[in-house]
């Protein structure tokens, strides 16, 4: 009989013993369960051979356990029905998933990440993942749900320690700080559904306190004598908690703090804890709003504190339509291994040295999502073919040009010989050709999109050719050169008719973009720290931005905005292309930012030629 089937028997037996909960706890190298009276004197492994299991929760209904492994940066699920199955639920875009909670009514998982500084939600299988909160989060840790009332609660032990409450639907209307005084390292948090109370443990203040759901009526449960309380849970009148320093699980009366007992000692490293019981996941007397046809929602149906007590929501980066029920549809994108029909309208594609990412511009969270590619070693330049929805990028380490579908599938090398430093790339989406610059060979070359019919277009008088962009409608290509005599040049797309448009007051012109409709060229200079604009012929030159541009690198134009990456600020920003104002940071504190391409995916008939 396997370990898990044995456990199944234990659960079977204990579920008939009243007043004796099972305690589920994460123990870094495994997840365990212990009888709350500890009548057997030891604990049993639920999931073993883990690297760093930190947070844990369960869905009693199907006896499944969810846990985070902060070292593997994953969320996993296991069942103890005798099958010994463990599946990966979330495998990308996590750094330090410290808190986890299961919505047993809506069938969702919620989690915190203290490094990405986000609170997210997904279906139990990891699909339809969405960022719910991303502002004013510093070090979010424990998270607890009250799906009966549509609220979630979390602790934040960052610069301004606090406990917050917000709607489980991610709307901002119901978010508020409920505890901000006398709080330092709020670790664990648990809810008492019977008495409508919150309990939390503060490791610095060495206490466990409680209050009402709105933060009022704060009380002391245990104070000033706890070495390092971490997580806590409730069952009936009993409070259970883990202590890091003592490496033990304790219990006491939830109101008086009396009857203190040690449940289990000499634990490897006790982390999160839950009493594993149906009573900790009470059912609503009424049917919940999401039960009937998913609330009419095309994707996520999330519990909400306000009438009609649910909200339809879309996976990260996808807009909800005006009916407030259906998500935008578009090209097929693979999201976390699940193929979906959701549609993005506007995206940023980002080359980030060892990966490529996409950032939706449709929703305000601007979450960056890594494309599932292999062997990205030093990606520099990036462009997009709006006809086949393919991403093209150069790699300075592998000395190759690659392409892949926008969902990361179909990755293939397009050019892999006679390349030294291909630092600029441009797709001719009309002629179906690929253009690139090479600062090593000092050439500009062209080939078909699949790499055949390769040809050198310009090989003379190039010092350090960098950015390249095309206006296939006018038949021009534009490029920058940051050599000893920096310049911006133009030629016909076959290399003829070469002309220096700008040859004065340039340093390192790193980025270039053209605006066919307004007949303008824009460029960014990483030495003079400026973004400038001029007419197509180089006349009418003027400065758009000359502040806080320490090292501009990637550069792209879409609609009314210029987008750029900055090495030093580790940011992606945008500014209005006409006024140079309305500046906004899209992404902050992301290192190794290289090329950037802003893309419009909405294909209106006849509009394709204005893309790119
Ligand atoms: C477990 O402990 C509870 C509370 O201390 C008690 O009521 C119950 O009888 C105990 N059960 C067993 C099997 O010891
Ligand atoms: C406790 O340990 C004994 C032997 O060390 C083992 O037979 C028993 O199954 C364990 N009980 C639990 C609840 O893990
Ligand atoms: C256990 O649960 C898993 C997941 O729901 C299921 O695939 C499996 O068939 C179940 N096994 C048993 C023995 O019930
Ligand atoms: C959708 O939600 C918005 C904002 O809550 C509201 O103003 C609008 O009336 C809703 N539309 C429909 C069709 O319900
Ligand atoms: C490459 O593309 C060209 C034109 O698009 C096509 O004619 C040719 O057959 C393709 N070659 C290969 C090897 O796919
Ligand atoms: C710079 O460009 C101007 C105008 O095109 C031209 O007259 C001048 O000779 C160029 N200077 C150099 C050094 O190339």
pLDDT score of 120:
98
Same domain, 128 and 197: yes
User: Which amino acid residue places its CA nearest to atom 3 of ligand 1?
Assistant: 19
Q: Is 19 in the pocket of ligand 1 (CB under 6 A)?
A: yes
CB 143 within 8 A of CB 151: no
Same domain, 504 and 432: yes
Query: 218: alpha, beta or left, given left = phi > 0 and alpha = psi -120 to 50?
Result: beta
Domain that holds residue 575: 348-610
Asked whether residue 343 is assigned to any structural domain, the reply reads no
Same domain, 188 and 296: no
**Percentage with pLDDT > 90 across the chain:** 85
> Which of 171, 172, 314, 324 to mutate to test ligand 4, by most ligand atoms within 8 A of the CB atom?
324
- Beta bridge partners of residue 144, listed in sequence order: 153
Q: Is 500 in the pocket of ligand 6 (CB under 6 A)?
A: yes
Q: Is 104 in the pocket of ligand 3 (CB under 6 A)?
A: no
Tell which atom from ligand 6 comes closest to the C-alpha of 499.
5
pLDDT score of 284:
81
When pLDDT is cut at 50, 70 and 90, the band that residue 39 belongs to is low
Asked whether residue 224 is assigned to any structural domain, the reply reads yes
Kindly report, residue by residue over 492-527, the tens digit of the pLDDT: 999 999 999 999 999 999 999 999 999 999 999 999
Q: Alpha-carbon distance 225 to 172, whole Å? A: 37
SS (H, E, C) 40-53: CCCCEEEECCCCCE
Q: Who wins on pLDDT, 80 or 188?
A: 188
Mean pLDDT calculated for residue range 431-459: 97
Asked whether residue 500 is assigned to any structural domain, the reply reads yes
Same domain, 50 and 99: yes
The span from the first CA to the last CA of the chain, in angstroms, equals: 62
pLDDT score of 224:
79
Instruction: At 332, list the tokens.
Output: 């097929």
When pLDDT is cut at 50, 70 and 90, the band that residue 5 belongs to is very low
pLDDT score of 609:
45
Residue 504 Cα, ligand 6 centroid: separation in angstroms? Answer: 8
**CA-CA distances (angstroms) from residue 138 to 54, 113, 133, 134, 157?**
18, 9, 11, 9, 7
Same domain, 319 and 386: no
Same domain, 226 and 184: yes
Q: Which ligand is nearest to the CA of 433?
A: 5
Same domain, 95 and 203: yes
Q: Is 15 in the pocket of ligand 1 (CB under 6 A)?
A: no
Cβ count near 288 (within 10 Å): 18
Residue 493 Cα, ligand 2 centroid: separation in angstroms? Answer: 76
Cβ neighbours of residue 227 closer than 8 Å, sequence gap 6 or more: 206, 243, 244, 245, 246
Q: Alpha-carbon distance 56 to 274, whole Å? A: 8
- Beta bridge partners of residue 463, listed in sequence order: none
Asked whether residue 341 is assigned to any structural domain, the reply reads no
When pLDDT is cut at 50, 70 and 90, the band that residue 328 belongs to is confident
**Model confidence at 335: pLDDT above 50:** no
pLDDT score of 601:
83
Same domain, 410 and 302: no
Single pTM value for the model? 0.88
Q: Who wins on pLDDT, 155 or 15?
A: 155
**CA-CA distances (angstroms) from residue 208 to 145, 239, 423?**
19, 10, 57
Q: Is 432 in the pocket of ligand 5 (CB under 6 A)?
A: yes
Mean pLDDT calculated for residue range 390-397: 96
Residue 42 Cα, ligand 2 centroid: separation in angstroms? Answer: 6
- The long-range contacts involving 121-126, CB below 8 angstroms and separated by at least 24 positions, are 121/168, 121/170, 121/300, 121/302, 122/89, 122/90, 123/300, 124/59, 124/64, 124/66, 124/77, 124/89, 125/87, 125/89, 125/338, 126/75, 126/88, 126/89, 126/90, 126/91, 126/336, 126/337, 126/338
Asked whether residue 527 is assigned to any structural domain, the reply reads yes
Q: Is 83 in the pocket of ligand 3 (CB under 6 A)?
A: yes
Look over the chain and give the mean of its residue pLDDT values, rounded to a whole number. 91
**Model confidence at 606: pLDDT above 70:** no
| Listed residues 235, 253, 280: the one ending a domain | 280
Asked whether residue 303 is assigned to any structural domain, the reply reads yes
Same domain, 205 and 305: no
Q: Alpha-carbon distance 207 to 200, whole Å? A: 8
Residue 433 Cα, ligand 5 centroid: separation in angstroms? Answer: 11
Same domain, 121 and 66: yes
**Model confidence at 171: pLDDT above 50:** yes
Same domain, 307 and 221: no
Residue 507 Cα, ligand 6 centroid: separation in angstroms? Answer: 16
Q: Is 503 in the pocket of ligand 6 (CB under 6 A)?
A: yes
Q: Alpha-carbon distance 274 to 257, whole Å? A: 19
Q: Is 181 in the pocket of ligand 4 (CB under 6 A)?
A: no
Residue 348 Cα, ligand 4 centroid: separation in angstroms? Answer: 28
pLDDT score of 43:
87
Instruction: At 267, list the tokens.
Output: 């634990």
When pLDDT is cut at 50, 70 and 90, the band that residue 37 belongs to is confident
User: Which amino acid residue places its CA nearest to atom 2 of ligand 6?
Assistant: 503
User: How long is the chain?
Assistant: 612
**Model confidence at 288: pLDDT above 90:** no
When pLDDT is cut at 50, 70 and 90, the band that residue 13 belongs to is very low
Same domain, 413 and 324: no
User: Which amino acid residue places its CA nearest to atom 10 of ligand 6?
Assistant: 503
Q: Is 505 in the pocket of ligand 6 (CB under 6 A)?
A: no
Q: Is 306 in the pocket of ligand 4 (CB under 6 A)?
A: no
Q: Which ligand is nearest to the CA of 434?
A: 5
- CATH number, domain of 509, equals 2.120.10.30
Residue 80 Cα, ligand 3 centroid: separation in angstroms? Answer: 8
**Model confidence at 265: pLDDT above 50:** yes
Q: Is 13 in the pocket of ligand 1 (CB under 6 A)?
A: no
Number of domains in the chain: 3
Q: Is 568 in the pocket of ligand 3 (CB under 6 A)?
A: no
Residue 452 Cα, ligand 5 centroid: separation in angstroms? Answer: 7
CB 112 within 8 A of CB 121: no
When pLDDT is cut at 50, 70 and 90, the band that residue 579 belongs to is very high
Asked whether residue 340 is assigned to any structural domain, the reply reads no
pLDDT score of 611:
43
Residue 503 Cα, ligand 6 centroid: separation in angstroms? Answer: 6
Asked whether residue 534 is assigned to any structural domain, the reply reads yes
pLDDT score of 340:
43
pLDDT score of 38:
72
pLDDT score of 608:
46
Kindly report, residue by residue over 305-324, the tens digit of the pLDDT: 999 999 999 999 999 999 99
Q: Which ligand is nearest to the CA of 63?
A: 3
**Model confidence at 16: pLDDT above 60:** no
Mean pLDDT calculated for residue range 451-480: 96
Residue 332 Cα, ligand 4 centroid: separation in angstroms? Answer: 27
Q: Alpha-carbon distance 526 to 524, whole Å? A: 7
Rounded to whole angstroms, the maximal C-alpha distance in the chain is 90
Residues 343-367 as b/e (b if ≥16 CB within 10 A, e otherwise) read: bbbbbbbbbbbeebbbbbbbbebbb
pLDDT score of 10:
52
Tell which atom from ligand 2 comes closest to the C-alpha of 6.
9
CB 319 within 8 A of CB 186: no
Lowest-confidence pick of 16-20, 176-180, 422-426: 16-20
Q: Is 159 in the pocket of ligand 4 (CB under 6 A)?
A: no
- CATH number, domain of 314, equals 2.10.25.10
């Amino acid at each position: 009989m396997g370990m898990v089937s044995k456990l199944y028997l234990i659960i079977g037996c204990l579920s008939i013993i009243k007043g004796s909960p099972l305690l589920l706890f994460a123990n870094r190298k495994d997840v365990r369960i212990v009888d709350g009276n500890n009548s057997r004197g030891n604990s049993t492994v639920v999931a073993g051979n883990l690297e760093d299991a930190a947070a844990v929760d369960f869905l009693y209904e199907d006896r499944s356990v969810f846990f985070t492994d902060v070292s593997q940066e994953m969320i996993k699920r296991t069942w103890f029905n005798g099958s010994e199955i463990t599946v990966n639920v979330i495998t990308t875009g996590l750094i330090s998933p410290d808190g986890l909670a299961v919505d047993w009514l809506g069938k969702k998982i919620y989690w915190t990440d203290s490094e990405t500084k986000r609170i997210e939600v997904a279906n139990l299988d990891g699909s339809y993942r969405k960022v719910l909160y991303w502002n004013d989060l510093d070090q979010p840790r424990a998270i607890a749900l009250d799906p009966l009332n549509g609220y979630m609660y979390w602790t934040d032990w960052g610069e301004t320690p606090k406990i917050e409450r917000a709607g489980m639907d991610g709307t901002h209307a119901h978010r508020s700080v409920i505890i901000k005084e006398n709080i330092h390292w709020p670790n664990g948090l648990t809810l008492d559904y019977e008495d409508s109370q919150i309990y939390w443990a503060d490791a610095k203040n060495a206490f466990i306190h409680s209050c009402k759901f709105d933060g009022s009526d704060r009380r002391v449960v245990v104070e000033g004598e706890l070495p390092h309380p971490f997580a806590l849970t409730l069952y009936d009148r009993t409070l259970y908690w883990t202590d890091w320093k003592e490496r033990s699980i304790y219990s006491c009366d939830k109101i008086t703090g009396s009857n203190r007992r040690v449940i289990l000692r000499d634990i490897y490293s006790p982390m999160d804890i839950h009493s594993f019981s149906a009573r900790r996941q009470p059912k609503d007397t009424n049917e919940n709003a999401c039960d009937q046809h998913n609330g009419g929602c095309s994707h996520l149906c999330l519990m909400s504190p306000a009438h009609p007590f649910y909200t339809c929501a879309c996976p990260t980066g996808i807009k909800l339509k005006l009916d407030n029920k259906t998500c935008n549809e578009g090209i097929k994108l693979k999201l976390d291994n699940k193929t979906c029909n959701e549609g993005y309208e506007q995206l940023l594609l980002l080359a980030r040295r060892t990966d490529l990412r996409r950032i939706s511009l449709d929703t305000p969270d601007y979450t960056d999502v890594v494309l599932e590619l292999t062997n990205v070693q030093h990606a520099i330049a990036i462009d997009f073919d709006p006809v086949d929805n393919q991403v093209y990028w150069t790699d300075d380490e592998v000395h190759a040009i690659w392409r892949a579908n926008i969902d990361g599938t179909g990755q293939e090398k397009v050019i892999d010989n006679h390349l030294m430093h291909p630092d600029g790339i441009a797709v001719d989406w009309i002629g179906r050709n690929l253009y690139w610059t090479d600062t090593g060979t000092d050439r500009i070359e062209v080939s078909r999109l699949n790499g055949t019919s390769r040809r050198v277009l310009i090989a003379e008088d190039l010092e350090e050719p960098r950015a390249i962009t095309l206006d296939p409608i006018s038949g021009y290509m534009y490029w920058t050169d940051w050599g000893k005599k920096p310049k911006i040049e133009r030629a016909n797309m076959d290399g003829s008719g070469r002309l220096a448009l700008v040859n004065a007051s340039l340093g390192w012109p790193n980025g270039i973009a053209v605006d066919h409709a307004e007949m303008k060229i824009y460029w960014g200079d990483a030495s003079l720290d400026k973004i400038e604009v001029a007419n197509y012929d180089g006349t009418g030159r003027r400065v758009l931005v000359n502040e806080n541009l320490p090292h501009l690198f990637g550069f792209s134009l879409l609609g009314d905005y210029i987008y750029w990456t900055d090495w030093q600020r580790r940011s992606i920003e945008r500014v209005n292309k006409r006024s140079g104002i309305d500046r906004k940071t899209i992404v902050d504190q992301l290192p190794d930012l290289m090329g950037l391409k802003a893309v419009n995916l909405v294909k209106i008939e006849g509009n394709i030629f204005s893309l790119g």
